[in-house]
């Protein structure tokens, strides 16, 4: 065999054969050596193979001839007979998209496409569906093309997702449920008490609060209407349902307590006014459940007590106490020294008072606390108590584990609340071996006597 020849001094070689995209040149004789890009010498044989799933269409090898041409064209690769089975496009999923996965590549179809460009899919193709935001997938998520030419599974649909089933709403619901569970653990709804009390705020209603009898009151009023004429129907104010809101947001008009809603009052004024002159007339009044010049909404406005100290002459001489020192602390002053942190328990607040006394004064301490009599007529500080006894601070039930939800000044403005906290604080101080003495009506005199004659 002539390995090669020259024509007019020119070396004859065959060009590199074209190779199908799904095929490769599989074998070249081992004893053949050629430089890249210089082609094949005459007599050389090139073999072809195809990738998995494809078969040769044409000869499996070609030979380079002496004239520099191949004896035949290179073969092509076509799908095997099994791969020639195709599945029809299952159709467009409205408000959804699909990912088309082949054995050798992946192609995403746009959610807005109505049909796939191929219209048919080979065996082994997988279609993976998803939906737009606000829609959920109902049905099979994946479809597979089987050798039968049919899809395994049914085409899904994208149904509109209800707002309550979305992940964001589920997460919000879980957070709200956790808050409710925590709230119920801090507010026992089954307390055995003989008064009407708000579970959330702890506000205690008086005898006039009858909202728990709403059904009975309404039924009684309806029964009295039965059989009578409409023109004779009358509703007495004393049979009106009174809620806990009347405790700190009501005013008396002609000896009748009326709950005032400032928003409703303002809206009514806007409706009835005919001109700006009418509005000026309206605002001649304070339009408030209480006189703003005298009250802050929580208690009566107070004067500046510090101005009283200007009447005393300061001591210029250094006073050196003799013997053992014993510190007497005014309980009223002590109550104002500690800042009440919101969301702290009352037990933790009492512990802060104990810590303050130990750090400030050491061990030998006596705390004198005022205790007012329940009989207002016999009180020596009746004038001072009257502003505090106003209903701007309702009765609140609390214990050591109760979480603080009020401002300190608001809660202590009510004497009942103040007594409850003093009892709680007294137990905490005595537990820390701090002497506590409660003075009836006048703690100032007891403080002076304790400093003069000892405890």
The pLDDT of residue 434:
86
Q: 373 is written with which tokens?
A: 């009599």
pTM above threshold 0.85:
no
Contact 99, 128 (CB under 8 A): yes
Q: 376 is written with which tokens?
A: 């207002």
Q: 315's torsion region: left (phi>0), alpha (psi -120 to 50) or beta?
A: beta
Summarize pLDDT for 149-191 with one digit per residue, the tens.
888 888 899 988 777 777 788 888 999 999 998 888 877 788 7
The pLDDT of residue 7:
46
The β-bridge partners of 135 are 160
Measure the CA angle with vertex 395, ends 392 and 401; round to 5°.
125
Mean pLDDT within 246-272? 69
CATH code matching the domain that covers 13-79, chosen among 3.50.30.30, 3.40.50.720, 2.10.70.10, 3.40.50.300: 2.10.70.10
The pLDDT of residue 163:
74
pLDDT band at 108 (very low <50, low <70, confident <90, very high): very low
**In 132-191, where do the E strands start and end?**
135-138, 142-145, 151-152, 157-160
The pLDDT of residue 175:
92
Architecture category of domain 86-104+113-163 in CATH: Ribbon (2.10)
Summarize pLDDT for 283-327 with one digit per residue, the tens.
777 666 666 677 665 556 666 767 777 887 877 777 666 666 778
CA distances from 320 to 67, 313, 324, 448 (A): 130, 19, 12, 18
Contact 429, 436 (CB under 8 A): yes
Q: 13 is written with which tokens?
A: 């070689």
The 8-class DSSP code of residue 85 comes to -
Tell me how far apart the alpha carbons of residues 196 and 227 are, in angstroms, rounded to a whole number: 35
What string of DSSP letters covers 341-394? PTT-BHHHHHHHHHHHHHHHH-S-EEEEEEE--S-GGG-TTHHHHHHHTSTTS-
Instruction: Pinpoint the residues of the chain covered by CATH 2.10.70.10.
Output: 13-79, 86-104+113-163
Q: 48 is written with which tokens?
A: 């072809």
The pLDDT of residue 390:
45
Contact 330, 447 (CB under 8 A): yes
pLDDT over 60 at 27, yes or no? no
The pLDDT of residue 28:
59
Summarize pLDDT for 80-93 with one digit per residue, the tens.
665 467 888 888 88
Q: What percent of the chain has pLDDT over 90?
A: 4
Residues in the chain: 455
């Amino acid at each position: 065999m002539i390995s090669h020849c020259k024509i007019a001094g020119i070396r004859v070689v065959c060009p590199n054969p074209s190779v199908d995209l799904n095929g490769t040149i599989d074998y070249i004789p081992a004893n053949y050596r050629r430089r890249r890009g210089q082609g094949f010498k005459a007599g050389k044989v090139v073999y072809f193979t195809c990738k998995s799933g494809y078969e040769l269409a044409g000869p499996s090898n070609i030979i380079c001839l002496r004239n520099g041409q191949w004896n035949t064209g290179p073969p092509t690769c076509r799908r095997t007979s099994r791969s020639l089975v195709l599945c029809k496009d299952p159709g467009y999923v409205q408000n959804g998209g699909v990912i088309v996965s082949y054995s050798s590549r992946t192609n995403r179809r746009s959610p807005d496409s109505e049909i796939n460009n191929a219209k048919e899919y080979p065996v082994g193709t997988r279609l993976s569906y998803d939906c737009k935001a606000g829609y959920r997938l109902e049905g099979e998520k994946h479809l597979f093309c089987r050798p039968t030419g049919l899809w395994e599974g049914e085409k899904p649909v994208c149904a509109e997702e209800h707002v309550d089933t979305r992940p964001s709403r589920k997460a919000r619901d879980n957070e709200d449920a956790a808050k409710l569970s925590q709230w119920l653990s801090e507010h026992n709804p089954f307390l055995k008490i003989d008064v009407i009390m708000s579970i959330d705020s702890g506000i205690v209603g008086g005898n006039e609060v009858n909202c728990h009898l709403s059904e009975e009151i309404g039924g009684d009023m309806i029964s009295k209407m039965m059989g009578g004429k409409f023109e004779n129907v009358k509703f007495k104010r004393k049979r009106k349902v009174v809620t806990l809101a009347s405790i700190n947001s009501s005013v008396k008009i002609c000896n009748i307590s009326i709950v005032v809603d400032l928003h409703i009052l303002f809206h009514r004024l806007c409706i009835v006014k005919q001109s700006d002159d009418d509005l000026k007339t309206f605002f001649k009044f304070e339009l408030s459940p209480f006189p703003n010049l005298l009250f802050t909404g929580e208690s009566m406005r107070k004067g500046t007590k510090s101005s009283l100290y200007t009447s005393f002459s300061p001591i210029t001489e250094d006073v050196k106490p003799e013997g053992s020192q014993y510190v007497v602390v005014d309980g009223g002053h002590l109550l104002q020294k500690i800042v009440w942190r919101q969301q702290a328990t009352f037990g933790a607040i009492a512990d802060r008072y104990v810590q303050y006394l130990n750090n400030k004064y050491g061990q030998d301490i006596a705390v004198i606390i005022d205790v007012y009599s329940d009989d207002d007529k016999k009180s020596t500080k009746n004038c001072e108590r009257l502003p505090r006894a106003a209903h701007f601070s309702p009765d609140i039930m609390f214990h050591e584990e109760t979480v603080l939800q009020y401002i300190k000044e608001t809660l202590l403005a009510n004497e009942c609340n103040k007594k409850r906290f003093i009892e709680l604080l007294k137990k905490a101080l005595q537990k820390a071996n701090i002497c506590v003495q409660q003075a009836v009506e006048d703690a100032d005199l007891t403080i002076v006597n304790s400093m003069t004659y000892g405890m």
